């Protein structure tokens, strides 16, 4: 018996597809067989399983559990919840790995799998190995009955979120976007001081109020209105599976991922002088400069939650973050991306700073940024375009950081072009010291894309 996955499903740091088109129950079963085979060969036998609120998630969970048990791994189901709740379960339960079924912030027709293997990120070559084992039918069979059991983890998870909490009382608006973080958020705010106003905590796979992606400003409109109408201190939003955070300050301005990391880094570096703080290649230069100014060691790394988590383990960094709102705490936590925990730590950092979030944002260098621009490109072409651009830049003697795609520094600032690992798009961003400088940087992006046959079209925002 063997199985072939749709070539678009096996991504760099997760498995993702469109239900009924590129992903279905038979894929979930094959993932279970391959993952269990790898785990048993590494000495493991038990897997935690969680899922988000999408209509297809129970179907995928059933297929995955069958695959895991047929290859000899017992399954511990923790039920519907945010991805970080599954990560927490994998960290504290007697299991050897974990799988969350989630489409994250993708449209309702999507779903996918995020995996943890013996307390480490499972990505890249690991995911390709899932496909190789399935194609070869190289699956272990169960040599003893494997079990499926259920564990209630939600209350324990929420209690852990506030363990050691040292924050004050704020008036906060929260928007769960009808995603999987809603039930945990409802419990969390009961344990926090202050005044809390909640939006869209009921889990609804249709996402009827807005798309659950807090990095797009249009999705923060209801939260902005709530903060303004009630005069709140700030607002917090989550993506569909609760591993990415968005924020607005009391003046209704978006506080982007790199700006949040700036606030959080100050508190962490006060406790751990000289520590490494990691951010992805899309982050502002102002963040890296501020980390250094605070006595920390800034480290630029590749975009992708699994890639960041692995780099944190390698370097011992206590804190990391991405422009996309993934925030990772290894300081007093487990090193995974948890937006609910990041929100709790933000409350603590603001208490420590003694200044409103809006004031901290205004004090940051006022760089001029583009939104994150996305250019549609054929899946088979996206990495080749980046290679072409890098070759031309090298021939022209440009100052290029190749950490993840091309990040080009000029007298005007910097621009970035990289291939998305989750979509058939090229991602670009630029940051300038002036409006004219930003225009010149964007013109360089357009020029490079044009030379590779890609014309600027409609793009998604930040």
pLDDT, tens digit, for every residue of 235-261?
999 999 999 999 999 999 999 999 999
Percent of the chain scoring above 90 in pLDDT:
92
| Burial of residue 45, with CB atoms counted within 10 A of its CB: 0-12 exposed, 13-18 middle, 19 or more buried | middle
CA dist., res. 92 & res. 81, Å (int): 16
CA distances (Å), origin 261, targets 149, 302, 332, 401? 38, 16, 16, 21
Of 71, 74, 104, 420, the catalytic one is: 104
Tokens in use for 196?
């809390």
Virtual torsion, Cα 351, 352, 354, 358, nearest 10 deg: -70
Q: Residue 12's pLDDT is what?
A: 83
Q: Residue 105's pLDDT is what?
A: 85
CATH number of 368-451: 3.30.310.50
Please determine, for residue 450, whether its predicted confidence score (pLDDT) is greater than 90.
Answer: yes
Mean pLDDT (whole number) for 285-291: 96
CA distances (Å), origin 66, targets 27, 71, 147, 420, 447? 12, 9, 10, 32, 51
Radius of gyration of the chain, Cα coordinates, nearest whole angstrom: 22
Mean pLDDT (whole number) for 436-444: 97
Please determine, for residue 2, whether its predicted confidence score (pLDDT) is greater than 90.
Answer: yes
3-state secondary structure of 1: coil
Question: Where does CATH 3.40.120.10 sit in the chain?
Answer: 15-152, 157-363
149 is catalytic: no
pLDDT band at 455 (very low <50, low <70, confident <90, very high): confident
Q: How many CB atoms lie under 10 A from the CB of residue 135?
A: 14
Mean pLDDT (whole number) for 273-300: 97
Please determine, for residue 13, whether its predicted confidence score (pLDDT) is greater than 90.
Answer: no
pLDDT band at 177 (very low <50, low <70, confident <90, very high): very high
pLDDT band at 52 (very low <50, low <70, confident <90, very high): very high
Virtual torsion, Cα 450, 451, 454, 455, nearest 10 deg: 10
pLDDT band at 16 (very low <50, low <70, confident <90, very high): very high
Please determine, for residue 461, whether its predicted confidence score (pLDDT) is greater than 60.
Answer: no
CA dist., res. 199 & res. 195, Å (int): 14
Pick the CATH number of 15-152 from 3.90.180.10, 3.40.120.10, 2.40.50.140, 3.40.50.150: 3.40.120.10
Please determine, for residue 40, whether its predicted confidence score (pLDDT) is greater than 80.
Answer: yes
Q: Residue 102's pLDDT is what?
A: 97
According to DSSP H, which parts of 180-251 are helical? 182-190, 221-230
Report which DSSP code applies to 280. Answer: E
Cβ proximity of 3 and 135 under 8 Å: yes
Contacts of 12 (CB under 8 A, 6+ apart): 123, 124, 127, 304, 306, 307, 421, 422
CATH architecture of 157-363: 3-Layer(aba) Sandwich (3.40)
What does pTM read for this prediction?
Answer: 0.94
CA dist., res. 81 & res. 225, Å (int): 27
CA dist., res. 71 & res. 37, Å (int): 6
Question: Where does CATH 3.30.310.50 sit in the chain?
Answer: 368-451
Antiparallel, parallel or unpaired: β 368-369 and 425-432: antiparallel
pLDDT, tens digit, for every residue of 115-166?
999 999 999 999 999 999 999 999 999 998 999 999 999 999 999 999 999 9
Q: Residue 456's pLDDT is what?
A: 66
| Burial of residue 137, with CB atoms counted within 10 A of its CB: 0-12 exposed, 13-18 middle, 19 or more buried | exposed
Q: Residue 457's pLDDT is what?
A: 56
Nearest to 288 by CA among 397, 409, 384: 409
Mean pLDDT (whole number) for 70-87: 98
Please determine, for residue 183, whether its predicted confidence score (pLDDT) is greater than 80.
Answer: yes
Q: Residue 301's pLDDT is what?
A: 97
Q: Residue 340's pLDDT is what?
A: 98
Q: Residue 380's pLDDT is what?
A: 86
Please determine, for residue 462, whether its predicted confidence score (pLDDT) is greater than 60.
Answer: no
Please determine, for residue 23, whether its predicted confidence score (pLDDT) is greater than 80.
Answer: yes
């Amino acid at each position: 018996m063997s199985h072939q996955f749709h070539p678009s499903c096996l991504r760099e740091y997760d498995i993702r597809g469109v239900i009924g088109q590129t992903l279905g129950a038979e894929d979930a079963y094959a993932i279970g067989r391959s993952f269990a085979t790898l785990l048993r060969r590494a000495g493991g036998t038990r897997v935690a399983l969680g899922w988000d609120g999408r209509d297809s998630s129970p179907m995928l969970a059933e297929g995955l559990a069958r695959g895991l048990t047929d290859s000899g791994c017992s399954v511990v189901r923790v039920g519907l919840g945010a991805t970080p709740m599954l990560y927490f379960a994998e960290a504290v339960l007697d299991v050897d790995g974990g799988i969350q079924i989630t489409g994250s912030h993708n449209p309702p027709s999507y779903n996918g799998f995020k995996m943890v293997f013996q307390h480490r990120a499972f990505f890249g070559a690991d995911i390709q190995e899932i496909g190789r084992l399935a194609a070869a039918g190289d699956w272990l069979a169960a040599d003893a009955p494997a079990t499926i059991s259920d564990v209630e983890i939600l209350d324990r998870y929420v209690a852990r979120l506030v363990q050691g909490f040292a924050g004050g009382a704020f008036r906060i608006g929260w928007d769960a976007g009808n995603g999987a973080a809603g039930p945990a958020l409802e419990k969390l705010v009961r344990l926090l001081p202050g005044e809390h106003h909640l939006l869209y905590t009921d889990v609804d796979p249709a996402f009827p109020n807005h798309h659950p992606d807090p990095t797009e400003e249009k999705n923060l409109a209801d939260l902005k209105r709530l903060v303004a109408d009630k005069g709140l201190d700030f607002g917090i939003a989550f993506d569909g599976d609760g591993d990415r955070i968005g924020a607005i300050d009391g003046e209704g301005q978006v506080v982007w991922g790199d700006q949040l990391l700036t606030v959080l880094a100050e508190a962490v570096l006060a406790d751990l002088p000289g520590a490494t703080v990691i951010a992805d290649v899309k982050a502002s230069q102002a963040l890296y400069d501020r980390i250094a100014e605070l006595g920390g060691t800034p480290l630029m790394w590749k975009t992708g939650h699994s890639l960041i988590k692995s780099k944190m383990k390698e370097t011992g960094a206590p804190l990391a973050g991405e422009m996309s709102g993934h925030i990772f705490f290894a300081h007093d936590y487990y090193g995974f991306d948890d937006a609910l925990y990041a929100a709790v730590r933000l409350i603590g950092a603001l208490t420590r700073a003694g200044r409103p979030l809006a004031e901290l944002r205004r004090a940051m260098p006022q760089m001029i940024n583009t939104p994150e621009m996305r250019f549609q490109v054929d899946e088979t072409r996206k990495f080749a375009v980046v290679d072409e651009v890098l070759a031309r830049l090298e021939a022209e003697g440009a100052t290029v950081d190749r950490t993840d795609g091309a990040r080009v520094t000029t007298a005007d600032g910097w621009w970035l072009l990289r291939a998305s690992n989750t979509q058939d798009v090229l991602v670009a961003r630029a940051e300038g010291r002036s409006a004219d400088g930003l225009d010149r940087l964007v013109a360089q992006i357009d020029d490079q894309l044009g030379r590779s046959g890609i014309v600027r079209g409609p793009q998604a925002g930040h």
